[in-house]
Amino acid sequence: MSGIRLVVGAIVMGVVVPVMLFYLLGLTRLPQLFTLAAAIFLAWGAADLLSVILERPRLKGRTATKAIKDDWDRRAGE
């Protein structure tokens, strides 16, 4: 993950989106804002982790489903 992508992602997904949703949903308590921010930030982190895994050269030119099927077939043959 590049530095600029990390900084922009942390600001947008950890601050801007939670504050916007906080006001749009009409929430009133600060713990609700923190919970919303944590949930959105963790979801962004998990999605980014999965995208990094799928970008690995081992999976280039294959879908995740095809990669799992190929691995399953390869292990079944051992």
Q: 47-66, pLDDT tens digit by residue? A: 888 877 777 666 667 777 88
Residue 56: which domain range?
A: 3-76
Per-residue burial over 25-51, b if 16 or more Cβ lie within 10 Å, else e, is eeeeeeeebeebbeebbeebeeeeeee
Gyration radius of the chain's alpha carbons: 18
Helices (H), 12-29: 17-24
* 55 CB-contact burial (10 Å; exposed 0-12 / middle 13-18 / buried 19+): exposed
Q: Using the predicted structure, report yes or no on whether residue 1 has a pLDDT greater than 60.
A: no
Domain count, the chain: 1
Token couple for 7: 């900084």
User: Is residue 38 very low, low, confident or very high in pLDDT (cuts 50, 70, 90)?
Assistant: very high
